[in-house]
């Protein structure tokens, strides 16, 4: 009798475990929000940090539904720096992928102040960077919205890398010059960092 009871408990526990796993697998994807103020807020790299901290866009993105019904992944950064200040957006080139980002500067009411497509970024070595400024104390930038620029997705960036390799030999050394091409794709995944730097007003 005791063995039968233990067997029944084991079967029930197994069934509960399977149901829990099935529930996790069948869980619906996160719902899209229709208001920007419903999005989770991320903090930019604070002033004083020497190197901005890049974040994986796909991991932090939320689904946003526009008025026309279209949906897209977005990331929203909240700023609290007093104007004037500079906002730096930087995109890493990792594993041959470059985030084809579009950046919007928003005021406290989530109204757009300015928008910058991916082509506004400047390539510096293996990174892309963009600087924008908030100079109006009456209407400072309070949010930075990062989305994907569909016009840039699928394009490629190619850089030539060259150098000299030195091989030691008995009684001397052998220098070999080389050149290689690094090809990266503009993608809807990648890494981006937002940093804020206060500016001193000129008297």
Query: 39-85, pLDDT tens digit by residue?
Result: 999 999 988 777 888 999 999 999 999 999 999 999 999 999 999 99
Q: What pLDDT shows up at residue 119?
A: 96
Examine the pLDDT at 10 and tell me if it is beyond 50: no
Q: How many angstroms separate the Cα of 49 from the Cα of each of 17, 20, 45, 68, 131? A: 46, 44, 7, 40, 16
Q: How many CA atoms lie within 13 A of 197 on its CB side?
A: 14
Taking the whole predicted model, whether its pTM rises above 0.85 is answered as: no
- Residue 139: both structure tokens together: 């209407």
Cis previous bond, 20, omega within 30: no
How far is the CA of 131 from the CAs of 78, 116, 121, in angstroms?
A: 17, 10, 8
What is the bridge-based pairing of β-strands 55-56 and 191-198?
antiparallel
Mapping DSSP to helix (H, G, I), strand (E, B) and coil, where does residue 141 land? Answer: coil
Q: Among 50, 135, 121, 131, which residue's Cα sits nearest to residue 92?
A: 121
Domain-wise residue ranges, the chain: 33-198
3-state secondary structure of 175: strand
């Amino acid at each position: 009798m005791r063995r039968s009871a233990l067997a029944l408990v084991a079967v029930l526990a197994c069934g509960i475990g399977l149901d829990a796993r099935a529930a996790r697998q069948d869980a619906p994807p996160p719902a899209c929000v229709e208001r920007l103020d419903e999005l989770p807020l991320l903090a930019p790299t604070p002033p004083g940090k020497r190197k901005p901290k890049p974040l994986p866009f796909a991991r932090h993105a939320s689904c946003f539904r526009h008025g026309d019904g279209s949906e897209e992944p977005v990331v929203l950064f909240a700023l609290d720096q007093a104007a004037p200040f500079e906002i730096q957006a930087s995109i890493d080139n990792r594993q041959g992928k470059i985030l084809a980002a579009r950046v919007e500067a928003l005021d406290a009411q989530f109204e757009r102040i300015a928008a910058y497509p991916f082509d506004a970024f400047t390539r510096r070595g293996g990174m892309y960077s963009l600087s924008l400024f908030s100079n109006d104390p009456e209407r400072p930038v309070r949010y930075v919205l990062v989305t994907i620029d569909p016009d840039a997705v699928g394009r490629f960036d190619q850089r030539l890398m060259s150098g000299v390799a030195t091989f030691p030999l008995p009684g001397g050394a052998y220098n070999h010059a080389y050149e290689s091409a690094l090809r990266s794709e503009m993608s809807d995944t990648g890494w981006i960092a937002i940093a804020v730097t206060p500016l001193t007003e000129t008297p």
